[in-house]
Amino acid sequence: MRILLVEDDASLAGALAQMLRAEGHAVDAVSSGEQAVLAARQEPFDLVILDIGLPGIDGFEVLRRLRGGGGTMPVLMLTARDPVEDRVRGLDLGADDYMTKPFAMPELTARVRALVRRSQARAGPRIEHGPLVLDTAARRAFLGGEPLQLAAREWAVLEVLLARVERVVSKEAIIQAVTGWSEELSPNAIEVYVSRLRAKLEPAGIRIRTVRGFGYMLEEYQGG
């Protein structure tokens, strides 16, 4: 999942980003409301973690603009305040969940997983391609009915290819989809992940074709 983290406390933002990346998410962090609105307009995010107390426009105004612009991604709001009126206002503006600082990091990651599951359930949590099944809600993969072990990056690359079956996807597009702004991933690293996926999938007849000079294409499943 790609997460936009909006938090002006640099130490907290760093800790949250590190924890979320350890869970396998790509995280982009900004420190102001204006940056958050601009980022959400320019990039597709699966979840926004939004602090209320921001310099410039506050989190409520960011949320209002996100929802006013048609954004439907889940939003988890963070605040150092706990009056009922603030929680009600945030939920009325379209927030999906609300946490008061200080909070336990494991609880936040659990809330993130729950929001992602709910969002994916609305879109359909299963992706099927021949004998391959990705349960995106439970984050489990199966090949021919047997559990398939995928590292976080392998999963992310495979999701990108599955969303574009029979279409060429450039290495640059894959990198953009699976990493945050502050992360660096080389085209050579993508080659390694694709090679690992091939080793796991090709015995079952699932083929990832290299289109030289362009990128990769997951072929339509023909059996095998």
Domain boundaries, the chain: 2-122, 126-218
**Strand 169-170 to 146-148 pairing:** unpaired
Instruction: Indicate whether this model's pTM tops 0.75.
Output: no
**Mean pLDDT of the 121-150 span:** 84
**Mean pLDDT of the 99-121 span:** 83
- Residues 96, 48 contacting (CB under 8 angstroms): no
At 123, the pLDDT band (50, 70, 90 cuts) reads: low
Find the helix or strand (DSSP H, E) in which 107 lies.
Answer: helix 105-123
Count CB-CB contacts under 10 A for residue 22: 10
- Residues 89, 58 contacting (CB under 8 angstroms): no
Nearest to 5 by CA among 184, 220, 152, 183: 183
Domain 126-218 part of CATH 1.10.10.10: yes
Q: What angle do CA 23, 28, 34 make, to 5 degrees?
A: 145
From residue 224, alpha-carbon distances to 153, 173, 207 in Å are 26, 29, 10
The CATH number given to 2-122 is: 3.40.50.2300
Question: Greater confidence, 137 or 67?
Answer: 67
At 179, the pLDDT band (50, 70, 90 cuts) reads: confident
Tokens of residue 22, six digits: 């350890």
Placement of tokens 């999701």 in the chain? 159
What pLDDT was estimated at residue 13? 95
Chain centroid offset of residue 60 CA: 22
Q: What are phi and psi of 201, to 5 degrees?
A: -100, -30
**Mean pLDDT of the 124-132 span:** 83
What pLDDT was estimated at residue 174? 87
- Residues 109, 131 contacting (CB under 8 angstroms): no
At 184, the pLDDT band (50, 70, 90 cuts) reads: confident
